[in-house]
Structure 1
């Protein structure tokens, strides 16, 4: 079932703690969890009851056996500047199997793992300017996906992939550079209050700031209350910077209208699409009606002017309902994307972000179920990208 509007889903399996390396003084690092279809089942409209099965049977949303096998994805993030020890334990009575059963991917990270002596495992994460983004996989938690040539099957067929049933991803993030933190004052910043977000609650100041806490869209476009998944934040034309504090969790999507030469999304918070249905169409009451033009993107700008640059440094997006980022209008846009994470992209067509002319992308983790690295333009650079790929389409798409 979906979680309550003001709550987040916590991992049912893992606990994560972090200590300065060798100090053995551990502090909790919250472990989020996401599940296929976000606990709603196959629904057509955001107001349909969970598991009412209103989505047309002919629509393939990219999810088949995953809910029945209990597939889920958990993640935890922290900021750091010194070597740290990350301790992982279970909270559901299961066993991890010891350090010898752990695989860390990318394997090129070559992180050291040891037993904690209490059933836990401890991973040493060195300080690094670029941080680390890695999955922790346990040999006793792997599921072999089998295919009959057209569909996943639970028996017969051929093994086409092996993944954790209870995925765990760790994001060890460097502190933001001063240039990636806006200079916030009462005059230039609209500071959100945790809780329900109604139409216009995002103001029209230059900066929109989300302090730690839970936020969720609570109205449809007409202002009717209690309509989860029936709206998104259409920012004021003066707003060019959205900043998330660590611990901010925002259930919604962001659409820019700024003509500023530089516009931004920064900070180590989470932007979650969990309340939206598959392919939520903003022009059709956010129902599951596919449109390459009006189905919702988590990051959106539909009226660019020449020479604009988007900087995205730090955020995590979770449970996107469709293509995760599209900017339309003038073709002279570019992006600067780094330390950007995408998780729980179980639906079909949950691509990575568009990579525009002369864009620079580095140090990212993208879980996708469609094109991952979308190089459609000239002069783009992508480095240190970790891709976790579902079944649909290529890792690199060139247009």
Structure 2
């Protein structure tokens, strides 16, 4: 029996190559395979099943009932066959839509398509704003990123289930490696440390913790030179990743959560967020601290929060933000709340939030609101009667393929707390390019919100009109 267990552990520690450059990750024993879907990868004449996980909704307002996913690695385009184990397939489409992936329905339970290569994809057998049983495919790049054997202070989690607790504290110069098939229940923390890496292809789960009652899944306070890469984070009771300090990178993270206050990533100054996937129920990317770059991410925004959040009451002076090449595949907002818009700011402190550039952003499905940028007192902030502003924002080359039903709001609270100098350039909504403020369906006040310009490449810039809050 011991020998059998040893052989099983050795097999689980190795990913399965189905071709020279495609790898399937194992599922840890004791975890339940999805009852909804089976995923088969077909490459170089070989067909292998890639394990599928399914997580069930945890909050009464969740519009998805389940989220299923499968994770693997490849270097090239790859044929995929999906078998639905419960529901009949009579429609199939794959997001982000920019890939233009054609899905062929083989019969009422099987669909086939070809992924163009590494990336994050949503396979959907339903239509409408709320998709109840999505299947997500996370295709990592091959070869796999992993630390060398000579890495000092290396902590390795092999394939299998590990209970690490809610305060697994990391120290300076440590590297944590989650091998394919590793499934960790718990949370990582660090404080006043530097040169920490968390990487791999494993899963970090907060399933044992109720909402808002524990740490963030990865929490690092006053930590510098941080790299978090590759892993999947699920069932976060609070943030998936919360960092402050400087020089931090979050790369190719896959994040899924259900609760309100399940934010995606909050990062420190000089931070880089790239190639990540978010399906979270609060702000996905928080753009709070200076010199933040976010690029090549895919976002599924659930019913709460904003895909791109400019500010909840940051103090001080924060500038130089660049967000580009983003796919926002779904926005599930059902309520007219101030924190529910694709581009959002609810700034209620003395800080100055300035110099933002958003460009090349595609929004596949949003029927709620695109812009809600305001300064206003709120219960989470420390309001300063004399100062606090949001300024110098460029939104360029943005396309929303659907028509949001709510007006956009860009408005300062008063002349001492302005929202000012906003450029909306080449914004295309439901097939129409905004050429004037009238196209923007905008609520504003020029006394508190000077310098809103709307233009397309075919027209000269036009400034927003007088107050139309009552329109």
Q: What is the TM-score normalised by the length of structure 1?
A: 0.66
Matched, 1:32 2:19: no
Shift of 1:238: 5.4
Say which SS state the counterpart of residue 394 (structure 1) adopts: coil
Equivalent residue, structure 2, for 1:379: 291
Preserved contact between residue 236 and residue 258 of structure 1 (Cα < 8 Å): no
Say which SS state the counterpart of residue 130 (structure 2) adopts: strand
Equivalent residue, structure 2, for 1:393: 305
Alignment of 1:1-399 (within 5 A): 7-20=30-43, 23=45, 25-37=46-58, 63-66=59-62, 71-92=65-86, 94-97=87-90, 101-116=91-106, 119-127=109-117, 131-139=118-126, 142=127, 162-175=129-142, 180-184=145-149, 188=152, 206-217=153-164, 231-237=165-171, 240-257=174-191, 259-260=193-194, 262-281=195-214, 296-304=215-223, 308-328=224-244, 331=245, 333-343=246-256, 345-399=257-311
Shift of 1:30: 0.6
Alignment partners' CA distance in 2, 1:321 and 1:174: 29
Shift of 1:342: 0.5
Alignment partners' CA distance in 2, 1:84 and 1:258: 43
Preserved contact between residue 356 and residue 375 of structure 1 (Cα < 8 Å): no
Preserved contact between residue 240 and residue 258 of structure 1 (Cα < 8 Å): no
Alignment partners' CA distance in 1, 2:168 and 2:184: 14
Alignment partners' CA distance in 1, 2:64 and 2:226: 37
- Relative contact order, higher structure (CA 8 A, sep 6+): 1
Alignment partners' CA distance in 2, 1:236 and 1:381: 25
CA separation of 1:76 and 1:397: change in aligned 2, threshold 3 A: same
Shift of 1:253: 1.0
Say which SS state the counterpart of residue 111 (structure 1) adopts: coil
Larger fraction in strand: 2
Shift of 1:172: 0.8
Alignment partners' CA distance in 2, 1:175 and 1:360: 22
Shift of 1:17: 1.0
Shift of 1:334: 2.4
Relative to structure 2, which stretch is displaced further, 8-17 or 346-355? Answer: 8-17
Alignment partners' CA distance in 2, 1:375 and 1:215: 33
Structure 1 gaps of 5+ residues are 38-62, 145-161, 189-205, 218-230, 282-295
Alignment partners' CA distance in 2, 1:183 and 1:373: 31
Shift of 1:233: 4.0
CA separation of 1:70 and 1:10: change in aligned 2, threshold 3 A: farther
RMSD: 2.4
Equivalent residue, structure 2, for 1:154: none
Alignment partners' CA distance in 2, 1:384 and 1:238: 29
Larger Rg: 2
Number of matched pairs: 284
Alignment partners' CA distance in 2, 1:318 and 1:171: 14
Structure 2 gaps of 5+ residues are 1-27, 312-471
Alignment partners' CA distance in 2, 1:239 and 1:214: 25
Alignment partners' CA distance in 2, 1:176 and 1:109: 23
Alignment partners' CA distance in 2, 1:165 and 1:15: 17
Shift of 1:181: 2.0
Q: Any runs of at least 4 consecutive aligned residues in structure 1 with deviations exceeding 3 A, and if so which?
A: 115-119
Alignment partners' CA distance in 2, 1:236 and 1:132: 30
Say which SS state the counterpart of residue 232 (structure 1) adopts: strand
Shift of 1:105: 1.1
Shift of 1:325: 1.9
Shift of 1:9: 3.7
CA separation of 1:216 and 1:116: change in aligned 2, threshold 3 A: farther
Per-residue CA deviations over 1:16-66 (Å, capped at 9, x if unaligned) read 111116x2x2111111111123xxxxxxxxxxxxxxxxxxxxxxxxx2254
Equivalent residue, structure 1, for 2:427: none
Say which SS state the counterpart of residue 67 (structure 2) adopts: strand
Shift of 1:355: 2.7
